[in-house]
């Protein structure tokens, strides 16, 4: 049974920063807990607020999933780099939204197993993960004009670097988000039509009429100099584009390619358990029917592998990262090229 927002009690989370104060503040969002390790304890979610004068508010989030390090690392770096004099308006940085997942390097929470990005709009009386979601929905998002949520593939996927916006009912909101996704300046950009969006952070933000841009920026449960450079440039571009920081947009080194993932034929899932060999690299073009992966029986030698073929033309946009694959795992995602600039 869903409750109306008006019937809900205030969030149990309190901030040690004053969101209305000028200058740079580093603090925590404190969520009270009581368990065997800490009777009167708190989950401490790091937050940085940089404010100067009047202007829009940007909310920058990483660690929505705790093993997606490109956003976490870039926002940690930004939190110690951004000065008040650089900003017009307010920048709220939460590098590790789901801190209990980030501290153990996992996609989901170490405290309740919660997948934060399947927990929105959240619940102040729910699990730790639902309480975090609720705080974002009812406290941080209402303060914000534009939201950038930095994802990547995590430990089990590697994904081409892209910024994405969504197909929305409000044409102006859709256009403003798409412009932000383009300005991010990743090598790829995607316009997404979300099929199962109900519990996503994206939806909680967009329902409030706010601008939402999401990214996927690599993966494998680590970062690289290349993925971090794209992430950091993208964050800077996002802040410049929406008027938070003065400066010029930095162009991507590679041409921007617009992709689409229109239907289920984009996803290749394993029907076998074994050893995975991808025969194409991320970003490579593929044609329908082409062998893109092989899965080998790990229990014996001398057995021909199972071949997996592309269900459509496109580029390899995402791949399973570990070589060990189980039945049901996504092996590959093939995106359609809509437009290529340059
Ligand atoms: Ca993610």
Q: State the DSSP string of 31-60.
A: EEE--SS-TTEEEEEEEEEEEESS--EEEE
- How confident is the model at residue 340, as a pLDDT? 81
- Separation of CA 151 and ligand 1 centre (Å): 5
The tokens for 178 are 């798409």
- Separation of CA 54 and ligand 1 centre (Å): 32
- Separation of CA 64 and ligand 1 centre (Å): 7
- How confident is the model at residue 312, as a pLDDT? 95
- Separation of CA 153 and ligand 1 centre (Å): 6
- Separation of CA 215 and ligand 1 centre (Å): 9
Strands of the 306-309 sheet, one edge to the other: 306-309, 291-296, 274-278, 324-325
- Separation of CA 39 and ligand 1 centre (Å): 32
- How confident is the model at residue 90, as a pLDDT? 98
- Separation of CA 216 and ligand 1 centre (Å): 7
- Separation of CA 249 and ligand 1 centre (Å): 26
- How confident is the model at residue 256, as a pLDDT? 83
Query: pLDDT digit string (tens) for 90-116?
Result: 999 999 999 999 999 999 999 999 999
Adjacent-strand bridge partners of 162: 188, 216
d(CA 218, CA 330): 16
- How confident is the model at residue 53, as a pLDDT? 98
Query: Which helix (DSSP H) or strand (DSSP E) does residue 231 occupy?
Result: helix 225-241
Total H helices, total E strands in the chain: 7, 19
Q: What is the pTM of this model?
A: 0.95
- How confident is the model at residue 196, as a pLDDT? 75
- Separation of CA 34 and ligand 1 centre (Å): 28
Do residues 94 and 183 make contact, with C-beta atoms less than 8 angstroms apart? no
Which long-range contacts does 264-267 make (Cβ < 8 Å, 24+ apart)? Answer: 265/311, 265/312, 265/334, 266/311, 266/312, 266/314, 266/317, 266/333, 266/334, 266/335, 266/336, 267/330, 267/332, 267/333
CA atoms within 13 A on the CB side of 43: 23
Q: Domains in the chain and their CATH numbers?
A: 14-254 (3.40.630.10), 265-336 (2.40.50.100)
Q: 258 φ, ψ to 5°?
A: -95, 125
The tokens for 33 are 């807990």
Do residues 152 and 69 make contact, with C-beta atoms less than 8 angstroms apart? yes
- Separation of CA 278 and ligand 1 centre (Å): 22
- How confident is the model at residue 252, as a pLDDT? 80
Burial of 205 (0-12, 13-18, 19+ CB in 10 A): buried
CA atoms within 13 A on the CB side of 93: 27
Task: Extract the residue ranges of the chain whose pLDDT is less than 50.
Answer: 1
Do residues 50 and 82 make contact, with C-beta atoms less than 8 angstroms apart? yes
- Opening angle at CA 339, ends 336 and 342, nearest 5: 130
Query: Cis peptide leading into 121, omega within 30 of 0?
Result: yes
- Separation of CA 73 and ligand 1 centre (Å): 15
* Residue showing tokens 């939190």: 79
Rg over CA atoms, the chain: 21
């Amino acid at each position: 049974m869903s409750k109306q927002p008006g019937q809900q009690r205030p969030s149990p989370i309190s901030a040690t920063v004053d969101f209305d104060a000028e200058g740079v503040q580093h603090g925590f969002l404190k969520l009270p807990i009581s368990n065997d390790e800490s009777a009167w304890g708190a989950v401490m979610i790091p937050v940085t607020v940089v404010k100067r004068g009047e202007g829009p508010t940007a909310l920058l989030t990483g660690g929505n999933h705790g093993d997606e390090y490109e956003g976490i690392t870039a926002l940690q770096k930004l939190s110690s780099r951004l000065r008040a004099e650089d900003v017009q308006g307010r920048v709220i940085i939460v590098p590790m939204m789901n801190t209990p997942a980030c501290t153990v390097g996992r996609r989901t929470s170490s405290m309740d197993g919660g997948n934060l990005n399947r927990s929105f709009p959240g619940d102040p009386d729910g699990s730790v993960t639902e309480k975090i979601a609720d705080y974002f929905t009812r406290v941080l998002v209402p303060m914000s004009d534009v939201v950038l949520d930095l994802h990547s593939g995590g430990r089990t996927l590697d994904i081409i670097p892209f910024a994405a916006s969504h197909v929305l009912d409000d044409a102006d909101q859709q256009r403003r988000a798409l412009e932000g996704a383009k300005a991010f300046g990743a090598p790829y950009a995607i316009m997404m039509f979300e099929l199962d969006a109900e519990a996503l952070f994206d939806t909680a933000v967009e329902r409030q009429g706010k601008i939402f841009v999401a990214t996927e920026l690599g993966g494998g449960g680590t970062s690289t100099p290349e993925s971090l450079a794209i992430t950091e440039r993208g964050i800077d571009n996002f802040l410049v584009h929406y008027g938070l920081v003065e400066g010029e947009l930095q162009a991507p080194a590679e041409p921007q390619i617009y992709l689409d993932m229109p239907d289920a034929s984009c996803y290749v899932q394993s029907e076998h358990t074994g050893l995975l060999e991808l025969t194409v690299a991320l970003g490579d073009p593929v044609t329908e029917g082409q062998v893109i992966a092989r899965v080998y029986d790990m229990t014996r030698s001398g057995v021909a592998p199972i071949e997996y073929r592309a269900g459509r033309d496109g580029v390899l946009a995402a791949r399973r990262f570990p070589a060990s694959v189980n039945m049901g795992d996504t092996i590959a995602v093939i995106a359609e090229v809509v437009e290529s600039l340059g």
